[in-house]
Chain A
Amino acid sequence: MGRHFISIWFFIGLLLLVYGVIIAGLGLYGLVSPPERVIVLVRLHAGIWWGALLIVLGAIYAWNFRPGR
């Protein structure tokens, strides 16, 4: 590698982290204020655990591929 890019995996990690926070946040908000649109298997609270998964994945990638590492 002749040049030094910021790794694409860092960008991906950052984006997943942001998405995770938004999705998990909306999922948690849905617990106190259920959305009008009804979805099937709402009891699974997919937004919360999928958002949490994105946060974990995003944090791992953003940290491991952070600029200057």
Chain B
Amino acid sequence: MTGLGFLLLQQAPSRLITLSFGDLLIIIIYFAAVLAIGFYLKRHTRTGEDFFLAGREMTAWVAGLSFLAANLGSLELMGWAAAAYQYGILATHWYWIGAIPAMLFLAVVMMPFYYISKTHSVPGYLKLRFGEPSRALSAVSFAFMTVLMSGINMYSMALVMKVVLGWDINFSIWASSLTVAVYVALGGLLSAIFNEVLQFVLIWLGALLIPIIGLIEAGGWSGMVERISKNFPGQDYTHLWRTMAHFTDNPMGIHWTGIVLGLGWVISFGYWTTDFLVVQRVLAAKDLRSAKLAPIIGAAFKMMVPFIVILPGLLGLAVLPVKLTGEDVAVATGGHSYNEVLPLMLARYLGPGLLGLGITALIAGFMSGMAGNVSAFATVWTYDIYRALMRKEAPDAHYVKMGRWCTILGVLVSIGTAYLVMQFKSIMDYVQALFSFFIAPLFGTVLIGMLWRRASPAGGFWGLLAGTVSSIAMWAWVKVDHSALAIIALSPHAKDMAENMYRALWSWTICVVVTVAVSLMTSPKPVAELTGLVYGVTEIPTERHLPLYQRPIFWAGVVGLAFVILQVIFW
């Protein structure tokens, strides 16, 4: 879900920005603050529930903002600003249809089952619903994916710091990742969540000035559109859906069915409802109502993120005196690449101090994403792999200790991955594919598990395995025989992104078909064992006694309506 694809393999020609003492002071204070929070919270982190679930005491706002911040990596900011410069407002699909419906679905439909089952993780839910094999499969694949993603993000961030600030790659990797390791190892999820809320605020306050000043310079939205039309005649950069009728009509090479079914349905629902990296934040909510409200609050803010990510990219099209290009051309000509649009805009508008705040926003984004990866990895490793497969009975304190060590180990493995990527950059080409390997089928398994009581343990396991294996097989097929793209992605013109969308859709479909077929041939669990796990046999607390404005469903409706209105406005 990040814009990783847009930050691949960039070389560092020279630094774009030179920081003043005031800017550096802002950054140093930020590092001191996140570490101080970690040390402060250590004394409040004693039990496994504290360390892995933040004591289940978070308010809806804290859980909701943390839920979103864990997703807002620095690559998200820079990658999608670059995508907006390259593809225009089409990049907004990843924030709107690629997120909002899924977040609302998680809140209204799925959260009750996660929360009432008292599971500590998504693989933990699969254990309760389908049994140990399903849990083991999803836990191992999640741990692998998380550490790999974390390392790749780390490397990309270090590369960005080298290009933008001229910082040494090794310094960036070690300084930022060890800071995350220290505060997460000290305070566990509690510390990760608290810092994510802080980071969320800094991301907004550091990035918000760019669109504000940019719109003043461009003469508002209409002035910006006019300038873009003048700078890039004949191209439509400011409409969401008009160019989606054919694969060849838009620079992404994608059809609206890929966006709606691949991104809006499988990829988005898979990520926002089953990726434990984000779901873990909501499980830390203090009660069911807060757990339902948290994704809705996250969705409301997610809908506004394009203002600080996409709009700067569009403003770059309107006001930058130079035209940005792809990496290869930029390296060959000594020009600037798409990836540099956000740093260029930062340098264009922000004076001393503000620039430091802007860079802090990028660093905060990276650290919140990494803390999300590391804390989720520590939980899944400790509870779903170590306790389930290696040491079933041990005192709670032992698992907390394991969680702390695992946090540090996770960071070190991520650092190792970062150096591996440095040597073998082609690994980064496969990152987006990882998502469709594991998350898309997992969504099918969890969804059926929650909504269909007849789904059997065997059905859950074989469906998940078939979805994952088929996804890897489809990916390998296209690698070996490129003409297979016309079958997998429905068009020989489809680009990588479109291929990922359709592959995710097929692997989800295969998972669902196999789960249903195997379930019908095997014995389901007794209904008594499904209480709290499945729709129809779980008593979900009513909210009818609450005034309308306190009900999650009401706010989900408000956010959903705003989402529809935005589609119409920018159609």
Contact = CB atoms under 8 A, between A and B. Distances in A.
The reply to whether chain A is a binding partner of chain B is yes
Interface of A: 1-3, 5-6, 8, 11-12, 15-16, 18-19, 22-23, 25-27, 30, 35, 37, 39-42, 44, 46-47, 50-51, 54
B246 to A, nearest CB: 39
A3 B20 CA distance: 42
A35 B29 contact: no
Contacts of B354: 23, 46-47, 50
Given A5-B41, A6-B40, A40-B217, A15 B29 contact: yes
A27 B351 contact: yes
Interface of B: 18, 20, 22, 25-26, 29-30, 33, 36-37, 40-41, 44, 55, 57, 62, 194, 197-198, 201-202, 205, 209, 213, 216-217, 286, 319, 347-354, 357
A23 to B, nearest CB: 4
Contacts of A11: 33, 36-37, 194, 198
Contacts, number: 91
Nearest to A1: B57
Nearest to A15: B33
A5 B349 CA distance: 38
A19 B357 contact: yes
- For A12, A18, A44, the residue with the greatest tally of chain B CB atoms inside 10 Å of its CB is A12
Contacts of B286: 1
Given A11-B36, A15-B33, A35-B352, 20 more contacts: A1-B57, A5-B44, A8-B62, A12-B198, A16-B201, A19-B29, A22-B353, A23-B354, A26-B22, A26-B353, A27-B351, A30-B352, A35-B20, A35-B351, A39-B348, A39-B349, A41-B216, A44-B216, A46-B350, A50-B209
A41 to B, nearest CB: 6
A1 B56 CA distance: 9
Contacts of A39: 347-351
A5 B44 CA distance: 8
- For B20, B41, B357, the residue with the greatest tally of chain A CB atoms inside 10 Å of its CB is B357
Contacts of B33: 11, 15
